[in-house]
Amino acid sequence: MFNDRTTPLTLLRTRRSGKPRDLIAPGPGEAELMAMIEIAGRTPDHGKLFPWRFVVVRPEDRAALSVALQRIQAAETEDCGPRDLEATEQFVMQAPALVVVLSKPVVPHKIPVWEQELSAGAACMNLLHAVHASGYAGGWLTGWAAYSDAVRDLFGGEGEKIAGFVFIGTPGRALEERPRPTLSEIAHFWSPGAGREG
């Protein structure tokens, strides 16, 4: 579903995350999803290390992922109850498409791990831009599952981290604009001799 957003600057100015629970069908087909991931890979990457990976969870595998996450949650979370497990099932099953983005730094390497992790974050953002340019909406979530080594092991291995779960679909309701900082709050001009207060 290609949706012309008029100009590249308009596209960037209008990108807005969608709440995954509000994303409905239709979602991107596999070819569209692969095209989005290809675009996401065109991200700043000092050293050309590709310190990130994308794992697509197909719709027919969502239920199995839900069961696996619930098993891990029950084992790792004190006082894990039925409502917690139900919330995890809802988390996994929301939106038509799911891409898990992994940070995969190359260690040891002269490029600092921090720079490689920043590149993984940029890959997530590039994916969201590709989603928007393709006429869909995306939501980038983390939550407890992103910080569980056992969940990480479902998608990768030691040394990797889950950068995020990116859910993709069609907005089921109008996307709400969130508060944005004023330009004066986030953009400043440096002057010699000025520190943080300048």
* CA 89 from centre of chain: 18
Q: Higher model confidence: residue 197 or residue 154?
A: 154
The three-point CA angle 78-80-83 to 5° equals 155
| Residue range 7-52, pLDDT digits in tens | 889 889 999 999 999 999 999 999 999 999 999 999 999 999 999 9
Query: Contact 16/180 with Cβ under 8 angstroms?
Result: no
Q: What is the pLDDT of residue 197?
A: 53
List domains and CATH numbers for the chain: 28-70+87-174 (3.40.109.10)
Structure tokens at 47: 């050293």
In the chain, % of residues over pLDDT 90? 88
The mean pLDDT of the chain is 94
| Number of Cα atoms under 13 Å in the Cβ half of residue 192 | 0
E-only strand ranges, 65-160: 97-103, 137-141
pTM of the prediction? 0.92
Assigned token pair, 72: 């891990």
Question: What would the pLDDT profile of 101-143 be if each residue is shown by its tens digit?
Answer: 999 999 999 999 999 999 999 999 999 999 999 999 999 999 9
What's the per-residue H, E or C state across 28-90? CCHHHHHHHHHHHCCCCCCCCCCCEEEEEECHHHHHHHHHHHHHHHHHHCCCCCHHHHHHHHH
